[in-house]
A and B are shown apart, each in its own frame.
Chain A
Amino acid sequence: MNKWIIVLLGLAAAVIAIMLYFLLTKKQLVVQAALGQSQTVTLSNSNPSQSVTINIPYNDTIGITVTLSNAVPSSSYNVSLSTGASTTITTDTSGSGSASLSVPNVTSSTTVTLSISGPNISSSFTLSINLNVAYNPTLTVSVGGGTYTMSNSSSSASASLSATSESLSFTLSSAPPGATYTVTKSLSYISGTSLTSPTTSQFTETAGSGGSVSWSDTVSIPSGYSGLKVTYTITGPGIVNSFSFALTLSSPYNPTAAVAISY
């Protein structure tokens, strides 16, 4: 009797040892979803659902990279978004694989659900991504006592002034902090009824931590011209196409030249 007890205890110990071995050595299936530029969320059977909120600029496109590790080797995992986009990850022999999806042109705050299913995933891994359109840039231009505002809903403005020189002040606000914007300045002079070929210059402005940046410029009508036309085009994060501001400056002077010829 004791002999059987000893045998059974031995078997039980072996089973426990094997179970402990598997428990201690078997790796858990892990899904890492990289969102946009900087956030990574890890999903696993022990933590199959998560929620994340990210602030994005208007019209941004969110890239989502799903990376599987410790999955069943050479197997297929289905990855889908609530927007309808889906893809399949086929793991390699070491049980790893990745795929990318995107949510394009987000112009309003929304929630997108990422679902991952496949072998050894007991229930679908689910990630709720709350996309908060937090940055919708606005450009304000002050010139000649007037203020002109451009946004994604009204992206261009123009002004015509009678002066020989004008200073323009630009303020870009509600932009993503640290975002860099490109300003293209195109300047033509009016000679008679025609415009000279435009001179184009380009510079960049970077939004501060508050999402704002300001700069200024001055344009003047040189001698020999009756006016100028300058166009500023701003492109960058959160601006769908571009913001465009055109200023036409006309000389307020209309000189008369009397030429007396004596002979």
Chain B
Amino acid sequence: MNKWIIVLLGLAAAVIAIMLYFLLTKKQLVVQAALGQSQTVTLSNSNPSQSVTINVPYNDTIGITVSISGGQPYSTYDITINSSPSLSISGQTSIDTNGQGSGSTNISVSSLIRSATVTVTITGPGISSSYVLTLNVNLAYNPVLTVNVNGTTYTLTNSSSSAQARVTGTSIPVSFNLSNAVPNSSYTVQKQIQYQTSSGIFLGPSTQFTVTTDSSGKASWSDTINPPTSYNSTIVDYEFSGIGIPSGGYFLMAVIASP
């Protein structure tokens, strides 16, 4: 009898151990995506108007997919998109339903350089009053990169995206502070070194790395430039790109003259 009790207790302990293992080690799936977010709003005759607010980074493009179901077969539903201020809108703004009364279309809204209100209006057979989706587009992320080169600060933004620093020294500290960027997103830093001699400019090493913002859209990192003394000067280009930064990126050129 005692033998069976010991066996059963052992089995119970094993089960509890396995359960504890899963409870302590299994991680919950968490998806945090600054880009690629989406939300779907459903409009019907009983709920013809809705309003949503989305936070987007500077220069983002919004994709709007309108899908009709339960509509009149082989009919046309018109989609009118208005924006204030005016935005660039492309895509087919009507839906021709199939034999089941379904159909869809994709529309892009781009050139988002400031907060805007986009109104999507859908009309067609069986829609008693227009279906209206009011999309409040909040330009929440407009990255600011502050670069300190040897004690001098340069601020790069979408309205002022490049700067040049001229310093003299042998070991130049460079620190970067990124703010107002999209949370939990990756940004790319491309570093290119060039050397200037009396006979011209020679390309040096090029490196690339990524920085990831925290949940508040901030990131910091630093670098040190150690220019070789054998060149007249060393030029270090930092090109910073990512979400909310238009093509071309933020660009800082540091020209370090050999002392």
Contact = CB atoms under 8 A, between A and B. Distances in A.
Chains A and B form a bound pair: yes
Interface residues of A, number: 24
A223 B120 contact: no
Contacts of A252: 126
Interface in B26-49: 35-45, 48
A108 B39 CA distance: 73
A254 B38 contact: no
B184 interface: no
Contact of A255 (B38, B52, B54, B70): B70
A103 B39 CA distance: 78
Contact of B41 (A253, A255, A258, A262): A258
A226 interface: yes
Interface in B64-85: 64-72, 75-78
Contacts of B36: 262
A255 B67 contact: no
Nearest to A251: B126
Most buried by B among A190, A227, A251: A251
A258 to B, nearest CB: 4
B130 A224 contact: yes
A158 B117 CA distance: 45
Interface stretch (B55-63, B170-178, B195-203): B55-63
Contact of B63 (A191, A221, A262): A262
B193 interface: no
B43 A190 contact: no
The bracket for how many chain B residues form the interface is 35 or more
A224 B48 CA distance: 13
A225 B77 CA distance: 11
B145 interface: no
Interface in B124-168: 124-131, 133, 135
B258 interface: no
A261 B127 contact: no
Nearest to B64: A261
Contacts of A115: none
A260 B38 contact: yes
Given A164-B125, A253-B101, A260 B40 contact: yes
B68 to A, nearest CB: 5
Nearest to A225: B128
Contacts of B38: 260-263
Contacts of A221: 125
B28 to A, nearest CB: 24
A184 B100 CA distance: 38
A223 to B, nearest CB: 5
Which secondary structure dominates where chain B touches chain A? strand
B62 A257 contact: no
A27 to B, nearest CB: 79
A262 B101 contact: no
A254 B64 contact: no
A258 B72 contact: no
B71 to A, nearest CB: 4
A257 B68 contact: yes
Given A255-B71, A262-B63, A223 B125 contact: yes
A218 interface: no
Contacts of B126: 226, 251-255
B63 A261 contact: yes
A263 B128 contact: no
Nearest to A194: B129
A232 B54 CA distance: 51
A253 B125 contact: yes
14 contacts: A223-B123, A223-B124, A224-B124, A251-B128, A256-B43, A257-B42, A257-B77, A258-B40, A259-B41, A260-B38, A260-B65, A262-B62, A263-B38, A263-B54
Q: Which 8 residue pairs across A and B have the least CB separation, nearest first?
A: A253-B126, A192-B129, A226-B128, A255-B71, A262-B38, A262-B63, A251-B126, A224-B123
Interface of A: 164, 190-193, 221, 223-227, 251-263
Given A261-B52, A261-B135, 18 more contacts: A191-B128, A221-B125, A224-B123, A251-B128, A255-B101, A255-B124, A256-B42, A258-B67, A259-B133, A260-B38, A260-B40, A260-B64, A261-B38, A261-B39, A261-B62, A261-B63, A263-B35, A263-B63
